[in-house]
Amino acid sequence: MPASPSPDRAAGRLTLENLALDHRDANGKPFRLFDMPPLTVEPGSRFGISGPSGCGKSSLLHLIAGLLRPSQGRILWNDRAVSELSESGRDRWRRETIGFVFQDFHLIPELDIAANVALPARFSGWRLSAVEKERAAALARRMGLPDPRRRAALLSRGEQQRVAIARALFTRPRLILADEPTASLDTGHAAEVADLLLETVTESGATLICATHDPALLARFGQRLDLTPTAQRRAA
């Protein structure tokens, strides 16, 4: 009988309890970037986050991923308060649960497409198995990248975006966070990349939370949050 998935690997409900995040301005004065009412994202949901530049969309994704700690409130995965874990605990939870499509891609130019896609596996072992190598190549092909041996330094921005999405899917995460996945693309390529992202997420059954300015992409999400920045007031 196959082993049951760990609590981190199982489908999860994401709950944000009264989140707030404080920052400091250029003069060092504290201000509250945003306050949020309670929010629950059910397993398998497609959730879009909109709002003007500087309102905290990327920061909210970083909070959910455990890269930042909230100034107020909690983040729960099922009944586990991940925002209260130690740094090493959040690192482990992130590796086992999340795929992140970063706005700036964060590819390694010297590595080829397949090696960049398989980067998450390097956190648990130095050598890739044959199965992992084939999965990386298959994901690259699925993203319209037929030559997985091409170096990342030779790729267009649209191709780099496809590699970034494939990498986020590599570990079969239950929660995918995408930060402006179509921002660097023209309209035609943006629609194509959005199709690929949504199709592959639907097939995997993962939850997708996406921060974007793209109205065409936002229209495809079942739930949406318009993140309005809090007035630049001093934090309590």
Do the beta carbons of residue 119 and residue 99 sit within 8 Å? no
pLDDT at 231: 44
Is residue 33 in some structural domain? yes
Tokens of 156: 């267009």
Is residue 9 in some structural domain? no
Three-state DSSP string of the chain: CCCCCCCCCCCCCEEEEEEEEEEECCCCCEEEEEECCCEEECCCCEEEEECCCCCCHHHHHHHHCCCCCCCEEEEEECCEEHHHCCHHHHHHHHHHHEEEECCCCCCCCCCEHHHHHCHHHHHCCCCCCHHHHHHHHHHHHHCCCCCCCCEHHHCCHHHHHHHHHHHHHCCCCCEEEEECCCCCCCHHHHHHHHHHHHHHHHHHCCEEEEECCCHHHHCCCCEEEECCCCCCCCCC
Domain, as residue range, for 191: 14-226
Task: Tell me the per-residue pLDDT of 33-61, one tens digit each, with 9 for 90 and over.
Answer: 998 889 999 999 999 999 998 899 999 99
pLDDT at 134: 94
Q: What is the pTM of this model?
A: 0.88
Per-chain mean pLDDT for the chain:
88
Is residue 59 in some structural domain? yes
Domain with 138 in it: what CATH number? 3.40.50.300
Is residue 3 in some structural domain? no
Is residue 154 in some structural domain? yes
Is residue 6 in some structural domain? no
C-alpha–C-alpha distance, residues 82 and 122, integer Å: 23
pLDDT at 5: 41
Count of domains forming the chain = 1
pLDDT at 184: 78
The residues of the chain scoring below 50 in pLDDT are 1-8, 231-236
Neighbours of 11 (CB within 10 A): 14
Tell me the HSE value of 55 on the side-chain side, using a 13 A CA sphere.
16
Is residue 8 in some structural domain? no
pLDDT at 124: 64
Is residue 168 in some structural domain? yes
